Amino acid sequence: MAHSRWDSASPDDQRRMQLARLREFLARQALPFHPFYRELFRREKLSPEKFQSFEDLARIPFSSKANVAPTGDDPDRPRSFVLQPTPETLRASLGLGRKLALGWKKLTRGGEAVRRELGLEYRPVQVFFTTGRTALPTSFLLTRYDLQLLEIVGARIGEIAGIDASRDRVLSVFPYAPHLAFWQVQAVSVATGCFTLQTGGGKVMGTEGILRALAKIRPTFVCGIPGYVYHLLREAVETRIDLSAVRTVFLGGDRIIPGFRAKLIELLERGGAREPSIVSVLGFTEAKKCWTECREGGEKTGLHTYPDLEIFEIVDPKTGEVLPDGESGEMVYTYLDGRGSVVLRYRTGDIVNGGISRTPCPSCGRSLPRLASDLSRASNVTEFNLTKIKGSLVNLNVLADLLSAHPGVDEWQLIIRKRNDDPFEMDEMILALAATAGMERDQVVRRVSDAIFETIELRPASIEVLSRSEILERIGMETRLKENRIVDLRATAGARAPAPAPLPTPQPAEKS
């Protein structure tokens, strides 16, 4: 299942191991049992033996969410990405060693024991769902085998984070949900033996209840979605809860920029934390696992991957050409181990600014591929029609980064809509914000407007200053899986009743 030298082999040894494991995985799992890739490889006239170098990976056509996401006409499409062995395909594809082991078990314990073992390996027992722009959620199935892999990854995350079960305690504010983040934290807890309180986030315990737990258990690690973690710790500081035990905050679900890290560290230090670390964690449902930075060094170390379990490529998002190490591009993911739902050369839509590095980590010294921590969504570069005949591209990643890191902005929400709710009119941005305590409102508005213009060469049509509680309610801080920061109403222009207030009540935007 896992390789003993996952974090210490040389890059050349890693590549040899990965190619060998790729050929094995294709021959023993993907091609005999995977409906989508079995047909794809037949059509492309591909076989495992053709993959003798990393350049040969390009023989496999890309797949993406467009291939796996369900539609109204084909709601069962995700099932075609699930390994589905039959007795006949198992007999034809299992290696000699596995056949002998199963044969011995059948001889000594009976056929039911064999069926049980294979059932535990291949029968789905859990499901994760992606959040996305499709009307229907996309399911990725896990078997018991995958849950064991999740625990192996949990142990590795614990090693990289330096978790010591004898002294550390974890407070998780990820929501209870069939989503990866919650279950990866659970796997870290089980694998390391570290006490963990899974609060379910504000929607379950409420912020007041979590604050009481924070004061009582005095966690050394706090983990959750960035916006809610900031909200929780801000409340803790304002209610004078002692945060001196907190050493590390793990953030997943959104990109983390230096300015936001600095705001969070300043907040923790105000609460009594000494030299706290902010660590970014990446995970996406299709991979069924997460990756973390080192506690010491953070974004300078990058996200540590598992070369025995996967292959990462960075490609040009326009041409699909594989890029050299260190160059920015789109992340592409390939399984080397796993059951249930499996993807090969899967285009994630995530842009890795800084690409991939294979040099030893400057903090922990591990020798493994590391992804640069600065990630963004390619789909967040959108066109604004500023006049009736001309448009302009706006990178919403950059805009979100600016607002999250701005010292004068406590909370914010951006509305993108058609002027006068007319589908034929120009686009406009409406910004609602809560100013940082002690900041003069007009000064904040002026500075934020100027900063936005300097960044994207556009100004919001209006900026409304509201109370923190009003913004928190609008973004769904304690009611949604993720805060509803950017709401794009352009697709529904003309279909809604006119809003009585200058800023309409936000409707949920589909997120990727």
pLDDT tens-digit series, residues 134-144:
446 899 999 99
Position 319 confidence tier, pLDDT thresholds 50, 70, 90: very high
Residue 307 is predicted with a pLDDT of 96
Residue 479 is predicted with a pLDDT of 82
Contact (Cβ atoms closer than 8 angstroms) between residue 410 and residue 231 = no
Position 512 confidence tier, pLDDT thresholds 50, 70, 90: very low
Separation CA 375–CA 251 (nearest Å): 13
Separation CA 298–CA 225 (nearest Å): 17
Tell me the HSE value of 227 on the side-chain side, using a 13 A CA sphere.
27
Average pLDDT over residues 496-501: 50
Question: Would the pLDDT of 501 be above 90?
Answer: no
Residue 381 is predicted with a pLDDT of 60
Contact (Cβ atoms closer than 8 angstroms) between residue 336 and residue 359 = no
Question: Would the pLDDT of 502 be above 70?
Answer: no
Residues paired with residue 222 on neighbouring β-strands, in sequence order: 171, 249
Sheet containing 303-304: which strands, arranged edge to edge? 195-200, 169-175, 221-224, 248-252, 277-284, 289-292, 303-304, 370-371, 356-357
Helix (H) / strand (E) containing 421: none
Domains of the chain in sequence order: 1-84+302-373 (3.40.50.12780), 124-300 (3.40.50.12780), 379-492 (3.30.300.30)
Average pLDDT over residues 330-349: 97
Q: Which residues, at least 6 apart from 39, have a Cβ–Cβ distance to it below 8 Å?
A: none
Residue 5 is predicted with a pLDDT of 83
Helical residues (DSSP H) of 171-257, grouped into ranges: 180-192, 206-217, 226-238
Residues in the chain: 512
Q: How far is CA 234 from CA 256, 271, 274, 330, in A?
A: 17, 9, 16, 34
- Tens digit of pLDDT for each residue in 375-397? 887 766 666 565 544 567 778 88
Question: Would the pLDDT of 193 be above 90?
Answer: yes
SS3 at position 292: strand
Residue 63 DSSP class: B
Separation CA 336–CA 342 (nearest Å): 9
Helical residues (DSSP H) of 87-143, grouped into ranges: 87-93, 96-109, 111-122
CA neighbor of 485 nearest in space, from 258, 188, 253, 200 = 253
Tokens encoding 229: 């973690």
What percentage of the chain exceeds 90 in pLDDT?
69
Give the other-Cβ count within 10 Å of 172's Cβ: 24
Tokens encoding 341: 């739902």
Tokens encoding 227: 């916006």
- Tens digit of pLDDT for each residue in 53-88? 999 999 999 999 999 999 888 899 999 999 999 999
- Helix, strand, coil % in the chain, rounded to nearest 5: 40, 25, 40
The better pLDDT of the pair 114, 506 is held by: 114
Read off φ and ψ for residue 456, nearest 5 degrees: -120, 5
Contact (Cβ atoms closer than 8 angstroms) between residue 290 and residue 283 = yes
Question: Would the pLDDT of 224 be above 90?
Answer: yes
Question: Would the pLDDT of 500 be above 60?
Answer: no
- Tens digit of pLDDT for each residue in 22-36? 999 999 999 999 999
Tell me the HSE value of 290 on the side-chain side, using a 13 A CA sphere.
28
Average pLDDT over residues 398-416: 91
Q: Which of 91-95, 351-355, 444-448 has the lowest mean pLDDT?
A: 91-95
β-pairing, 409-418 with 486-488? parallel
Average pLDDT over residues 251-266: 90
Tokens encoding 27: 């021959």
CA neighbor of 58 nearest in space, from 295, 316, 309 = 316
Question: Would the pLDDT of 428 be above 50?
Answer: yes
Residue 492 is predicted with a pLDDT of 86
Tokens encoding 349: 């839509």
Whole-number mean pLDDT of the chain? 90
Residue 389 is predicted with a pLDDT of 46
Helix (H) / strand (E) containing 69: none
Amino acid 27 reads A
- Tens digit of pLDDT for each residue in 465-476? 999 999 999 999
